[in-house]
Chain A
């Protein structure tokens, strides 16, 4: 593989979004902004919800809306550099008629040459290409979510005023809601979930929806 170029896989639970040679990746983790280039030291870190910028080997810049996830940088000798197969429609049809399961073949790495190479895997709960985002829809979703958040905040505040204890936990739950809003790195559900009233849960959901809409708009390059 040419110098300065490495393999990036972007996978979500429902599909493989991208598996291609790239030059650089810019993303945001809980530790701050991070740029990954060829030969980056092996690393495992989280990815906060936001836009991930990818420069491909053809010097094209892709913007990905990533709703939270994790990234793994693997650099070393003999890293498997076979791109992931993105199942095509033809392959699926062939599989169906042959009635053979497509997953049985083991992904045995072919022995790569001994030079040092880099492979980056981005595991996202949900991700999409910026240019595939329907801006109008995202904008509408954002507006709807904003309205809902406002309405729910009022309800929660009203419920909170009747009891001081609930009111204080309401504001803290609201905070955790917005930080847990990104699909991928939602806050520890164990500590917050049980302490939240249905209204607060609804508010957290609405805030999550708002955050998602914002991430999508940002990745689409709108605003």
Chain B
């Protein structure tokens, strides 16, 4: 039934073309959103750097202050982990790579007998992690693509509160860092205690390994050297005193870092989505080409067969007449 096959192919081609239209549209939308996310990241940068500088300055002002709030926790037995993914899928490996890293981290923490409380941002996280038997303490959804500072404050409060009331010893964030349009990487960072920014990021002590997972502490190398700048007169007044100031600043620092992470996550999400959708569009093009070829061949087959049948029939009739 050659004609039937042709119809089947035609229908498949149409369906692939319809899918292609969707993926193409998503690709274009993602591309425009990348631009917006990038500009929001750029706009956030001075605040974030300023916050880091402020803490750096305060930590320098009184090295004895804030022992509980700064540096590396000794043998943390209770850890809060927040995992930042998107609300939506169709974004290539964006969600799964963060979630896989989170899982590895959780497995290693559990192996050590650490008490873990897990927080998530993005709709895709709770289902994945709950399915694998992890208890999600609280999940935040609905703003992964356009986070506002208010959203960051909400998450920040949920994370800083248990730390300040000494219910957890360490707060870690698993999120995607956006280095450039071509490079995004999953990173595990320590949010609290506030990383000691006086430590050089290249220094070994600014890193910690939980299993095979590296925990970054302090400003990462691509943050630039802007906040390495120390007040040049060598003395600074603090009002209130450094200890109180650091206590006030800790939740602010967490909010600021989370906001940056959310913005970078959004930019990474759209970049991943654009890439995934571009690939899907290419695949659809390829599929349409292949299917068209097969369909044309099937149609030609059908025509040839039909002609052969007609010619054969005519020939047979002629033979009958001539006989």
Contacts and interface: CB of A to CB of B under 8 A. Distances in A.
Contacts of B162: 190
Interface string A10-21: 011111100000
B161 A29 contact: no
Interface stretch (B19-27, B89-97, B246-254, B313-321): B246-254
A189 B47 contact: no
Contact of B46 (A9, A41, A104): A9
Contacts of B252: 70, 125, 184
A95 interface: yes
A4 interface: no
Given A44-B54, A87-B39, A189-B160, A106 B47 contact: no
A49 to B, nearest CB: 14
Nearest to A79: B232
Interface string B33-73: 01100111111111111110110011001000000000000
A74 B235 CA distance: 10
B181 A99 contact: yes
Interface in A104-145: 104, 106-109, 121, 123, 125-126
B224 A189 contact: no
Given A101-B180, A123-B47, A191 B58 contact: no
B231 interface: yes
Contacts of A76: 231-234
Interface of A: prevailing SS: loop
B197 to A, nearest CB: 14
B224 A121 contact: no
Contacts of A29: 239
A56 to B, nearest CB: 19
B38 A84 contact: no
B236 A11 contact: no
A76 B57 CA distance: 14
A100 B271 CA distance: 12
Contact of A193 (B35, B42, B153, B157): B157
Interface in A3-52: 9, 11-16, 29-31, 41-46
Contacts of B53: 72, 121
Contacts of A80: 229
A92 B152 CA distance: 24
Given A79-B232, A106-B225, A45 B39 contact: no
Contacts of A103: 38, 41-42, 45
A92 B35 contact: yes
Interface string A193-208: 1100000000000000
Contacts of B238: 43-45
Most buried by B among A14, A93, A101, A185: A101
Interface string B156-199: 01001110110000000000001111000000000000000000
A188 interface: yes
Nearest to B231: A42
B239 A14 contact: no
Contact of A101 (B38, B43, B157, B226): B38
B46 A84 contact: yes
A14 B225 contact: no
A107 B181 CA distance: 19
Nearest to A99: B181
Contacts of B140: none
Most buried by A among B34, B39, B149, B237: B39
Contact of A78 (B44, B180, B232, B235): B232
Contact of A95 (B35, B54, B234): B35
B222 interface: yes
B61 A109 contact: no
A43 B231 CA distance: 9
A121 B49 CA distance: 11
A44 B236 contact: yes
A102 B39 contact: yes
B259 interface: yes
B322 interface: no
A108 B149 contact: no
Contacts of A15: 43
Contact of B152 (A13, A42, A77): A13
B245 interface: yes
A101 B268 CA distance: 11
B113 interface: no
A14 B43 contact: yes
Contacts of A194: 161, 165
A169 interface: no
B224 A44 contact: no
A193 to B, nearest CB: 6
Contact of A191 (B165, B234, B240): B165
Given A13-B149, A13-B256, A95-B35, A42 B235 contact: yes
18 contacts: A11-B46, A12-B149, A13-B47, A14-B47, A30-B240, A44-B245, A45-B238, A46-B239, A46-B248, A74-B231, A77-B232, A100-B180, A106-B225, A108-B224, A108-B226, A109-B229, A123-B50, A125-B149
